[in-house]
Amino acid sequence: MTEQQKTAARVGVLGARGRMGMEVCKAVDSAADLELVAAVDQGDDLDAVAQAGAEVVVDFTTPDAVMDNLRWCVEHGVHAVVGTTGFTGQRLAEVRGWLAGRPGVGVVIAPNFGIGAVLMMQFAARAARYFESVEIVEQHHPRKLDAPSGTATHTARLIAAARADAGLGPAPDATRDEVAGARGADIDGVRVHAVRATGLVAHQEVLFGTTGETLTIRHDSYDRVSFMPGVLLAVREVGRRPGLTVGLDALLD
Ligand SMILES: NC(=O)c1ccc[n+]([C@@H]2O[C@H](COP(=O)([O-])OP(=O)(O)OC[C@H]3O[C@@H](n4cnc5c(N)ncnc54)[C@H](O)[C@@H]3O)[C@@H](O)[C@H]2O)c1
Ligand SMILES: O=C(O)C1=N[C@H](C(=O)O)CCC1
């Protein structure tokens, strides 16, 4: 074992055989200051993570699995970086409840670890107050289990909060006859349309409109490697941030 390995942070990956998990294993393996000590997937025993002495766990599993995994991490004093989607306000409150009993443990949950995607969400939140209309179109690969995406849901919530702060009412929409779903999902009053097509990875457009002009903010992840700088940043930072951090914004600043 080299001197560097002795001081490297010990990382476990959950969902290690999945699309994101495999990419995370490669990224951790290639980082001189991190050591991949456990790669766990469905059916494997989580105790392998404890036995390997993991200090940080990265979870890219499924919305059905992630809460049990996260609870296990908090109970075992292991910091967690979570990219898995499906986090409602209720789920976040539950995680905060677990963390209250383990004040030294840090958890970072981010709907999108792409730096460009984080900026796209920030730009959208900043623009929201100036436009009476807004809709989100997210586009992903067809093997994605959830719709709309976690990123689109998070963006819609940020926009809705900014609109409420600015005293904006509902966006104008005269639709009277609708084939179910034609106007997309309603997330806190913001319409979100989900496209699934082979060849796509992860893409999102936020379309704003007001009299005489529109503004489109678009982000594209063409490769899952785009998420890795954000994931590694969170892995390095999570132990210095006890409690729950939602989104990558605080870590970038
Ligand atoms: N935050 C981000 O930047 C970001 C980026 C891409 C994907 N995601 C999200 O990450 C999640 C995974 O995406 P993916 O494309 O890698 O999916 P995937 O289906 O390729 O991988 C999920 C893996 O988790 C495994 N798994 C299921 N239950 C498990 C359990 N209990 N313990 C351990 N492993 C388990 C599956 O067997 C599979 O290998 C999704 O929720 C997706 O939306 C987030
Ligand atoms: O490929 C996925 O699945 C992705 N999920 C996240 C989401 O739902 O927002 C992030 C982008 C990729």
At a CB cut-off of 8 Å and minimum separation 6, what does 137 contact? Answer: 192, 193, 195, 204, 205, 207
Report the percentage of the chain scoring pLDDT > 70. 97
Cα separation of 63 and 78, whole Å?
Answer: 20
Mean pLDDT of 92-117: 97
- Nearest ligand 2 atom to alpha carbon 148: 8
Tens-place pLDDT, residues 155-190: 999 999 999 999 999 999 999 999 999 999 999 999
The answer, yes or no, to whether residue 246 has pLDDT greater than 90, is: yes
By alpha-carbon position, which residue is closest to atom 3 of ligand 1?
112
Report the percentage of the chain scoring pLDDT > 90. 96
* Average pLDDT along the chain: 96
> What's the DSSP call for residue 224?
G
Question: 97: exposed, middle or buried (C-beta count within 10 Å: 0-12, 13-18, 19+)?
Answer: exposed
Query: What pLDDT shows up at residue 2?
Result: 53
Instruction: Tell me the binding residues for NAD(+).
Output: 15-20, 41, 83-85, 110-113
The answer, yes or no, to whether residue 6 has pLDDT greater than 80, is: no
Are the C-beta atoms of 40 and 46 separated by less than 8 Å? Answer: yes
Judge if the beta carbon of residue 112 lies within 6 A of ligand 1: yes
Q: Which of 151, 156, 171, 162 is nearest to 214 (CA)?
A: 171
Query: What pLDDT shows up at residue 253?
Result: 82
Closest ligand to the CA of 140: 2
- Nearest ligand 2 atom to alpha carbon 152: 9
Query: What pLDDT shows up at residue 178?
Result: 97
The answer, yes or no, to whether residue 106 has pLDDT greater than 70, is: yes
Tens-place pLDDT, residues 27-80: 999 999 999 999 999 999 999 999 999 999 999 999 999 999 999 999 999 999
Instruction: Tell me the binding residues for (S)-2,3,4,5-tetrahydrodipicolinate.
Output: 141, 150-151
The answer, yes or no, to whether residue 8 has pLDDT greater than 90, is: no
Judge if the beta carbon of residue 219 lies within 6 A of ligand 2: no
Q: Is 253 helix (H, G, I), strand (E, B) or coil?
A: coil
- Token pair of 185, please? 């999902």
Question: 145: exposed, middle or buried (C-beta count within 10 Å: 0-12, 13-18, 19+)?
Answer: exposed
